[in-house]
Amino acid sequence: MRILVVEDDVKMAALLRRGLAEEGLSADIARTGDDALWMARATEYDAIVLDVMLPGVNGFDVCRQLRESGTWSPVLMLTARDAVLDRVTGLDAGADDYLTKPFSFAELLARLRALARRTPLERPAVLEVGDLRADPATRQVWRGGVAVALSSKEFALLETFMRRPGQVLSRFQLLEHCWDYAYENRSNVVDVYIRYLREKIDRPFDQDSIETVRGAGYRLRKDTGEGR
Digit-coded pLDDT (tens) for 151-162 = 888 998 998 899
pLDDT tens across the length of the chain (228 residues)? 789 999 999 999 999 999 998 888 889 999 999 999 999 988 888 899 999 999 889 999 999 899 888 788 899 999 876 667 777 888 888 888 989 888 999 999 999 988 877 655 344 568 899 999 998 767 789 999 999 999 888 998 998 899 889 999 998 888 877 776 555 555 588 999 999 999 999 999 999 999 999 989 999 998 876 654
The answer for 151, left when phi > 0, alpha when psi is -120 to 50, beta otherwise, is: beta
Stated as kind and residue range, the H or E segment containing 61 is helix 59-68
The predicted structure's pLDDT at residue 67 = 86
Query: What is the DSSP annotation of 103-168?
Result: --HHHHHHHHHHHHHT--TTS-SSEEETTEEEETTTTEEEETTEEE---HHHHHHHHHHHTSTT--
Residue ranges of domains in the chain: 2-117, 127-220
**CA separation for the pair 10, 14 (Å, rounded):** 6
- Distance, in Å, from the CA atom of 61 to the CA atom of 53, rounded to the nearest integer, reads 11
3-class SS of residue 173: helix
Q: Count how many residues are written for the chain.
A: 228
| pLDDT value at residue 212 | 94
pTM for this predicted structure? 0.59
Residue 128 host element (H or E): strand 127-129
CATH architecture group of domain 2-117:
3-Layer(aba) Sandwich (3.40)
On whether the CB atoms of residues 40 and 155 are closer than 8 A, the answer is no
**CATH architecture observed for domain 127-220:** Orthogonal Bundle (1.10)
Each residue's pLDDT tens digit, 170-207: 988 888 777 765 555 555 889 999 999 999 999 999 99
pLDDT of residue 121: 39
